[in-house]
Structure 1
Amino acid sequence: MTLLQEIGITLPIVQAPMAGVSTPELAAAVSNAGALGSIGVGATDACGARTMIEGVRARSQRPFNVNLFVHAPAQGDAAREAAWLDALAPTFRSFGAEPPTALRPIYKSLIEDDEMLATLIDLAPPVVSFHFGVPSKEVIIALKLAGCVLLATATNLSEAQAVKEAGIDAVVAQGWEAGGHRGMFDPDLPDNRLGTIALTRLLVARSGVPVIAAGGIMDGSGIRAALDLGAVAAQLGTAFIACPESSADLAYRDALTGPGAEHTVMTHAISGRPARCLRNRFTEWGEQAGLGSPGYPMTYDAGKALNAAAKAAGESGFGAQWAGQGAPLVRVMPAAALVATLVGECRA
């Protein structure tokens, strides 16, 4: 029996918790279909997390996952932030807006968010997962005592070994193909850019913990391949963005289902950490700017302000349209139907 089966998940499928796209409706639909639905609360506060967790529970009695960011707390750099805003200023003005006068660390890490931890302990979601690192031993013990099964993302073997040493129950092997933010513990270190196949097999062979494969998996054949590599499950994110239960806006959906899905890029420009998204005007600006970003999440503060100004002017090319390299294989259908389709393909 695998780890997921032990907590009542009958299918080897995990819906990736893309913050800003995953919703309680999506997570509940996936969980009700027998897979593991997920919500990402890294982009909200404790009150918002409570609302989302209670929203899943109002729609499903099945296990689900709550994902948090565990990045090093932001360190401001006034000079770099000013240079970034100066470089963005002409683009803001092209949309009739002015850039912010200063940048804020708009998202807290779990490392510094005692209210978030208290909320998690109080509500005790069945599964809690971590991105960008692992929390302290004290946090891990507290969540385990609350009855939570713990997962954490790794992009290489050393990160996976840190996951095991922390006492976390399973590791999500995030390949270079994956959409959304890279789960690297330290974005300033070189990235080996391991693909999903190589990373999954490496972690199965050497990490010493159950492995969930993630990155570029879009259909049942991909899930079966992950299981054949020794993974206990496959995590899919991009595959669920086109579901009606996600919060992706119309421009995002149109881009994902159009020819642009064939072109994804890893960029720091949107948030300050490497993340894979559909190529758009913002990623092209980032490629041309040649600047070091102010870091996460201050860069995201500027990016969100720019996207709001652009959308107000009718331009949709500055959004965070996260997507993995498998994006051209996306299918538009309700989440439950997608899970059933994935299961049928996997068994076939």
Structure 2
Amino acid sequence: MNQLDLIGKLGLQTPIIQAPMAGVATPELAAAVSNAGGLGSLGLGASSMEQARDMISATRALTDKPFNVNVFCHKSAQFDTAREEAWIRYFTPHFVRFGATPPTSLSEIYTSFLDDQSMQFLILAQQPAVLSFHFGIPDDAFLTAVKAAGIITMASATSLREAKLLEQAGIDVIVAQGIEAGGHRGIMDTDSQDEHLSTAVLTRLLVKKCHAPIVAAGGIMDGQGARAMLDLGAVAAQMGTAFILCPESSANTSYRENLRSERAASTRLTTVMSGRPARGMLNELIQWGDAEDAPAVPSYPLTYDLAKQLNAAAVAKGNYEFAAQWAGQGAPLAREMPAAQLLRTLAKEMA
């Protein structure tokens, strides 16, 4: 798919894609972005089939423009009882601190899209304009069905090797996710060497070495940053942290307050929140889990199960130091305004 065809099919008046951000992006946010001339997105990686259906329906009730739905294509959890028990023991003092009982075991709280045939059928039935993948891609049979349905596909790459795999599989658009990006790093094989390429370096590398259109993602917070990525050859910029302070997002009060504060300048890429590398604002959970004497981190999403249980216990006591508050390195540049106004502002800055 060439760049002009892509821009036309997406109806992009401003080459900005709102990142999916599971747990933060809402139908209201996605619709507002699409209505304002960008591409809104829904993150379904943590959603049940019923929740996914409801979110897609709610978005369609608010916009007749294209929007993106994103799914997680991670490998199933690798259970290791000894590792999981050690992780639970290590965090037990915090459960006790908040008057809660630690879990006796950890569960695979999210099913991978690769293993969820019902969710695959739902997506094909719903036929969103765009379907994007994180952590990997489905098999050829599903991708063929998606292509036959006329759905545009996007997928994240953190390296040239991953981008080439996506291109060979027929993915329409490659999202170049730099190390600056907030939230989960889209690396496909967590056992492989991560080069930690910046958004600018990765974008330029993929533009030169791949045929598919490239979307730049990671640390982009304003129109000047987006324009820089377009100048490097990207067809659009994907922005997540920039939209968290929009009133249409579901970010809670603590998340918003921290993003407005000096804490936004301290983000860390860590596996201790979920079991996969992800960047968020530094807090007590990350500091405790990343300490030198911490045991090995369990598999994704088993680690996330403990983090969510501990956060619930902490929040019940008025403590928000154990929440996943994802943010990219550009977080101090976040601005608070409605999504449509932010799109207009970005367009002016890009011009």
* TM-score in terms of structure 1 length: 0.98
How far is the alpha carbon of 1:189 from its aligned partner?
1.4
The answer to whether the 8 A contact 2:288-2:294 is kept is no
Residue 7, structure 1, aligned to residue 10, structure 2 = yes
Give the aligned residue type for 1:247.
S
The answer to whether the 8 A contact 2:72-2:133 is kept is yes
**1:123 counterpart (101, 126, 130):** 126
* TM-score in terms of structure 2 length: 0.98
How far is the alpha carbon of 1:11 from its aligned partner?
1.6
Structure 2: gaps (5+ residues): none
- Partner Cα separation in structure 1 for residue 191 and residue 313 of structure 2: 30
Structure 1: 4+ residue segments shifted above 6 A: none
- Partner Cα separation in structure 1 for residue 233 and residue 132 of structure 2: 20
Residue 132, structure 1, aligned to residue 149, structure 2 = no
- Partner Cα separation in structure 2 for residue 96 and residue 190 of structure 1: 40
How far is the alpha carbon of 1:123 from its aligned partner?
0.5
SS at match of 2:174: strand
Q: Percent identity?
A: 54
How far is the alpha carbon of 1:76 from its aligned partner?
1.1
- Where does residue 107 of structure 1 map in the other structure? 110
**1:323 counterpart (320, 327, 338):** 327
Counterpart mapping for 1:249-268 below 5 A: 249-268=252-271
The answer to whether the 8 A contact 1:2-1:232 is kept is no
**2:283 counterpart (257, 262, 280):** 280
Taking only aligned residues, the RMSD between alpha carbons, in angstroms, comes to 0.8
1:95-123 CA-partner distances (Å, limit 9, x unpaired): 11111111110101111000100100111
How far is the alpha carbon of 1:287 from its aligned partner?
1.5
- Partner Cα separation in structure 1 for residue 153 and residue 183 of structure 2: 21
Counterpart mapping for 1:207-222 below 5 A: 207-222=210-225
1:236-278 CA-partner distances (Å, limit 9, x unpaired): 0000001011010000000001000010001111100000000
How far is the alpha carbon of 1:56 from its aligned partner?
0.5
**Greater mean deviation of Cα atoms: 283-292 or 168-177:** 283-292
SS at match of 1:187: coil
- Where does residue 227 of structure 1 map in the other structure? 230
Give the aligned residue type for 2:312.
A
1:13-68 CA-partner distances (Å, limit 9, x unpaired): 00000111111110000000010000000001211110110010010000000000
- Partner Cα separation in structure 2 for residue 35 and residue 132 of structure 1: 24
Structure 1: gaps (5+ residues): none
- Where does residue 307 of structure 2 map in the other structure? 303
How far is the alpha carbon of 1:6 from its aligned partner?
2.8
- Partner Cα separation in structure 1 for residue 9 and residue 26 of structure 2: 25
- Partner Cα separation in structure 2 for residue 145 and residue 174 of structure 1: 27
